[in-house]
Amino acid sequence: MFLALREIRHEKLRYGLIVGMVVLVSYLVFVLSGLAYGLAQQNTQAISSWGTSKIALNSDANESLSQSLLTTATTDKLALSDHEAYIGQAGVVAKAAGQPKLSAQFVGLQAHQFVARNLKVTSGQRPATARQILVDDSFHDNGYRLGDRVQLNATAGKYTIVGFTHNAKLSVAPVIYGSLGTWRTLSHVTANFKASGVVSNDAHFAPKTAGVQTLTRQQFINKLPGYSAQNTTFTFMIAFLMVIAMVVIAVFLYILTMQKLPNYAVLRAQGIPASVLVKTTISQAMLLVVSGLVIGALLTAATVLALPAGVPMSFNLPLLAGVTVGILLTGVIGALIPVRLILRVDPVSVIGG
Amino acid sequence: MPALTLSHVTKQFGHATNQVTVLEDINFSATAGEVSLVLGPSGSGKSTFLTIAGGIQTPTTGQVQVQDQSLGQLTTKARDALRLNKIGFILQAYNLVPYLTVQDQFSLVDRVKPQGNLSAADLSALLDQLGIGQLTQQFPAELSGGQTQRVAIARALYQNPDIILADEPTAALDSARVAVVGQLLHDLAKQHHKAIVVVTHDLRLRDFADRIYQIMDGQMTVA
Ligand SMILES: Nc1ncnc2c1ncn2[C@@H]1O[C@H](COP(=O)(O)OP(=O)(O)OP(=O)(O)O)[C@@H](O)[C@H]1O
Ligand SMILES: [Mg+2]
């Protein structure tokens, strides 16, 4: 550490620039992966928040909840326990006097079932009647307030917002929770139809009823419109970004060490053990990369606070930890490659007599 | 037993058609308590000779023996340790680490070799003798050529090595300083029983030498 710190102190500008570069690269990686992950989350937040592990749909629905309809004749045969709940999904446009129109996903629930019971209300309360709705926070961000009377599509009558909930997004649209009756109205179906599908938080839920297909949560999510394509795009984008970030940082540290080889040759001529040079290089590279990563993370946190609430950003900690460790490791390896060089050759060949 | 022996050392650079032989069958030994001076014109192979003697360059053929150890048979690690403990190098250029103050150049040695170095009092006496006692907080870039050279001398002596190898230690010094350095090296040999090898084209150092050699066209002769 002695040599590493003395050198940084003596060459503040150079090391400042290296740290700045690590800051920018890690900031880029953090923010972009946060945005990508945030968007991916918006496809599935609601489904995840219910604690879904299985989902049963009409087997002709092409594995899509919004295309699925279950008749009462079918649902009567399902023998549901209190681990299952009916879900009726319908795309709607919400509007209220003086507020912007919002495209949303209506989710009809049965009040006593587990999904409705477990909804987390951030303000207000759960709907108690068919004319009351619980809506995602993003309605609040768009100016909607408790007590606002909302019209859904062109249907008659208004629905009153009685509560807000957090992280309720389905297919990147905010969710409006209401009753199954409202869902029937919005979907223009008769009382012969019970719901779009059934979700279960029991991993063993597997009804054998004809005309019903059961999917795992992941199978269902992968079939959400556009979800897989979007995820593949983002996965590749982030992977490329990470690889390039790691290579860039490794190259910078490589160049940094290359420039120090004459100094290392002098030290070796003096008999300073190779292990000291290796330790110095590692500790210095770690110090630079870690401070860059920390500042990058702080900047990212500041950005999250500064961004408008509507911008989806969410962080996958294992992914970020992987990125961080990857950058750190490649940085150290980049810095060490030239050191290996000087430990093999005669010091004089580097400094020349 | 001599402190340092070179037997049949040759050194060639380059390959095939543009191969040059810089040293040819050099046989040399230095004894504790003596100052050996190797004189030769520029390009005659003095630095090559000295760096091979100190193990920071390997000979093409031949042996280098430091006290009872043959350098060719040592691992890199053992050779580094030998330099740290037995050999003080004063190179022709590039002796100091640019980001360490003069004081820190010595502190670094303390960190890797806690024992056997000069005491603080001895170091400060040495620096005063060399006229650089005031410069301990300077960085190498803030020193003149002659000051740098004297710091390099002090640094090599600080490790209290048995063998001191000096390459043009007086190149940038005026005659008064040459006398100081010459006397210092002479006293180290006589009073502290060091083996001292100086390669130079500075004839002013002849008065302080016990043995004088000539190097010319890769051959070494006794002058
Ligand atoms: N790494 C090398 N590759 C090729 N030639 C070299 C190399 N090092 C030294 N030489 C050649 O070897 C010869 C002797 O070089 P050396 O540095 O030993 O001379 P010197 O006597 O110390 O000269 P000076 O008094 O100018 O310091 C020179 O001709 C030089 O060009
Ligand atoms: Mg030379």
Residue spans of the domains in chain A: they are 2-43+228-352, 54-204
Q: Give the model's confidence band at B16: pLDDT under 50 very low, under 70 low, under 90 confident, else very high.
A: confident
Nearest 5°: the CA angle A211, A217, A219 is 70
The yes-or-no verdict on residue A3 having pLDDT over 60 is yes
Q: Report yes or no: A99 and A142 within 8 Å, Cβ to Cβ.
A: yes
Cβ within 8 Å, pair B84-A273: yes
| Per-window interface: B 149-188 vs A, CB < 8 A | 155, 159, 167
Q: What is the DSSP string of A261-288?
A: HHHHHHHHHTT--HHHHHHHHHHHHHHH
Phi, psi of A22 (to 5 degrees): -65, -40
| pLDDT digits 0-9 by tens, B131-176 | 999 999 999 999 998 899 999 999 999 999 999 999 999 988 899 9
Which of A2, A11, A260, A270 is best to mutate for the B interface (most B CBs within 10 A)?
Answer: A270
Identify the sign of the CA torsion A71, A73, A78, A81: positive
Average pLDDT over chain B, rounded to an integer: 92
Q: Which two tokens stand for residue A244?
A: 């390039």
Assess whether the C-beta atom of B19 lies below 6 angstroms from ligand 1. no
Closest-approaching ligand to the CA atom of B201:
1
- What φ, ψ does residue A88 adopt, rounded to 5°? -115, 115
DSSP bridge partners of A132: A160
**Complex ipTM:** 0.88
Q: Are A235 and A37 in contact (CB under 8 A)?
A: no
What distance in Å separates residue B131's CA from the closest CA in chain A? Answer: 23
Q: Whose CA is nearest to atom 5 of ligand 1?
A: B13
Q: What is the DSSP letter of B167?
A: E
Mean pLDDT across B14-40: 92
pLDDT at residue A353 above 60? no
- DSSP code of B62? E
B140 touches chain A (CB under 8 A): no
A170 and A47 in contact (C-beta within 8 Å)? yes
Nearest CA to A135 out of A46, A224, A42 is that of A46
| Residue B200, both tokens | 């130079």
- Assign residue B206 a region: left if phi > 0, alpha if psi is -120 to 50, beta otherwise? alpha
Interchain CB distance below 8 Å, B94 and A3 = no
Reduced to 3 states (helix: H, G, I; strand: E, B; else coil), residue B27 is: strand
- Cβ atoms of residues B56 and B21 within 8 Å: no
Confidence of residue B99 (pLDDT cuts 50, 70, 90): very high
Q: Is A107 exposed, middle or buried (0-12, 13-18, 19+ CB in 10 A)?
A: buried
Q: What is the dihedral of CA A232, A237, A239, A244, to 10 degrees?
A: 160
Which structure tokens are listed for B62?
Answer: 């031949």
Length of chain B: 223
Residue whose tokens read 């290796």 = A278
Other CB atoms within 10 A of residue A253 CB: 27
If you take atom 18 of ligand 1, which residue's CA is the nearest one?
B45
Q: Which amino acid is at A315?
A: F
**Closest chain B residue to A5 measured between Cα atoms?**
B99
* Strand ordering across the sheet containing B20-30: B20-30, B4-13, B61-66, B69-70
A42-95 pLDDT, tens digit per residue, is: 888 888 889 999 999 999 988 889 899 999 999 999 888 999 999 999 999 999
**Pairing of the two strands A197-200 and A54-58:** antiparallel
Q: Which amino acid is at B221?
A: T
**What is the distance between the terminal CA atoms of chain B, rounded to a whole angstrom?**
23
Of A40, A44, A22, which is closest to residue A32 (Cα–Cα)?
A: A40
Q: Is A266–B96 a contact, with Cβ atoms under 8 angstroms apart? A: yes
* The predicted structure's pLDDT at residue B189: 93
Q: Is B2 helix (H, G, I), strand (E, B) or coil?
A: coil
Give residue A95's pLDDT.
93
| Cα-to-chain-centroid distance, residue B143 | 20
pLDDT of residue A352: 66
| Average pLDDT, integer, range A245-271 | 89
Contact B48, B75 (CB under 8 A): no
Ion ligand 2 nearby residues (CB, 5 A): A 353; B 46-47, 92
- pLDDT given for residue A38 in this prediction: 87
Q: Of the ranges A50-59, A125-134, A175-184, A217-226, which one carries the lowest mean pLDDT score?
A: A217-226
Q: What is the dihedral of CA A116, A120, A125, A131, to 10 degrees?
A: -40
A343: closest CA of chain B, how far (Å): 8
Give the bridge partners for A84, in sequence order: A200
Q: Is the CB of B40 under 6 A from ligand 1?
A: yes
Task: Report the distance separating Cα B27 and Cα B215, nearest Å.
Answer: 11
CA closest to B89 among chain A residues: A270
Contact B148, B170 (CB under 8 A): no
Q: Give which of B23, B44, B66, B80 to mutate to test A binding, by max A Cβ within 10 Å.
A: B80
Q: For ligand 1, atom 3, name the residue with the nearest CA.
A: B13
3-class secondary-structure state, position A224: coil
DSSP A12: H
Q: Is B218 in the pocket of ligand 1 (CB under 6 A)?
A: no
Nearest CA distance, B48 vs chain A (angstrom): 7
Parent domain of B127: 4-222
Rounded CA-CA distance B74/A346 in Å is 14
> Which residues in B lie closer than 8 A to residue A348 (C-beta atoms)?
51, 56-57
Question: B21: which 2 tokens?
Answer: 């032989």
Query: Ligand 1 centre from A256 Cα, in Å?
Result: 29
Q: How many domains does chain B have?
A: 1
**CATH number of the domain within which B184 lies:** 3.40.50.300
The average pLDDT across A301-326 equals 86
Q: What is the DSSP string of A32-74?
A: HHHHHHHHHHHHHHHHHHTT--EEEEETTSTT-GGG--EEHHH
B48 against A352, higher pLDDT? B48
Q: Report the separation in Å between the CA atom of A348 and the middle of ligand 2, taken as the mean of its atom positions.
A: 12
- State the virtual CA torsion across B79, B85, B90, B91 in degrees, nearest 10: 20
Q: Are B5 and B67 in contact (CB under 8 A)?
A: no
Looking at residues A228-248, what average pLDDT do you find?
88
Answer yes or no: is the C-beta of B47 below 6 A from any ligand 1 atom. yes
The distance of B208 to chain A (nearest Cα, Å) reads: 24
Residue of B nearest to A2 (CA): B108
Residue to mutate, B47, B56, B213, ligand 1, most ligand atoms under 8 Å from C-beta = B47
CB of B200 sitting under 6 A from ligand 1: no
Best residue in B51, B164, B201 for a mutation probing chain A (most A CBs within 10 Å) = B51
Instruction: Return the percent helix, strand and coil in chain B, to nearest 5.
Output: 40, 25, 35
Cα B17 to Cα A273: distance, rounded to the nearest angstrom: 37
Q: Is B175 in the pocket of ligand 1 (CB under 6 A)?
A: no
Nearest CA in chain A to B52: A348
Instruction: Determine the 3-state secondary structure of A22 from DSSP.
Output: helix
What is residue A269's predicted lDDT score, i.e. its pLDDT?
Answer: 87
Task: Return the SS3 of B177.
Answer: helix
Give the residue-averaged pLDDT of B1-24: 91
Q: Which residues contact A39 (CB under 8 A, 6 or more apart)?
A: A172, A230, A234, A312
